[in-house]
């Protein structure tokens, strides 16, 4: 598995030790898309589905990614996920680097 996937999976497990709540799937993937290419997001989704870290199969996750590109999550969803990610030092794409 590519090192970037290991790092992201480790970070997700730290931020979501009980698993990612279903309500956070789409906003989480939307935020990840700010940093990852579509191919990297698909690879991550495949890996997460394969390890059982998400209660969804690869097809479900790919459908969610498609929804992200056509229907953005609410600002509240994005804010909730962004706050959770920031607590684990994930870089916020909205803040200056």
C-beta separation of 67 from 26 below 8 A: yes
Cβ neighbours of 46 (radius 10 Å) = 15
Q: Which domain holds residue 48?
A: 3-86
92 domain residue, yes or no: no
Token pair for 8? 């992201």
Q: Report the CATH number at residue 24.
A: 1.10.150.430
pLDDT score of 7: 79
pTM of this prediction? 0.41
Residues in the chain: 97
97 domain residue, yes or no: no
Question: What burial class does residue 41 get, using C-beta atoms within 10 Å of its C-beta: 0-12 exposed, 13-18 middle, 19+ buried?
Answer: buried
38 domain residue, yes or no: yes
91 domain residue, yes or no: no
72 domain residue, yes or no: yes
Could you give the CA distance from residue 76 to residue 27 in angstroms, rounded to a whole number?
A: 9
94 domain residue, yes or no: no
User: pLDDT (tens digit, 9 = 90+) per residue, 52-81?
Assistant: 655 555 555 556 655 655 554 556 655 666
User: pLDDT (tens digit, 9 = 90+) per residue, 7-47?
Assistant: 778 888 888 888 888 888 777 777 776 666 667 666 666 66
37 domain residue, yes or no: yes
Q: In total, how many domains does the chain have?
A: 1
21 domain residue, yes or no: yes
pLDDT score of 92: 52
């Amino acid at each position: 598995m590519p090192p970037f996937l290991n790092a992201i999976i480790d970070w997700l497990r730290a931020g979501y030790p009980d698993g990612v709540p279903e309500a956070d799937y789409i906003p989480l993937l939307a935020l990840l898309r700010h940093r990852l290419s579509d191919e990297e997001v698909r690879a991550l989704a495949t890996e997460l589905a394969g390890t059982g870290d998400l209660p969804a199969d690869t097809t479900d996750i790919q459908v969610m990614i498609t929804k992200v590109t056509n229907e953005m999550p609410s600002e509240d969803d994005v804010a909730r996920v962004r706050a959770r990610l920031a607590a684990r030092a994930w870089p916020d794409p909205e803040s200056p680097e």
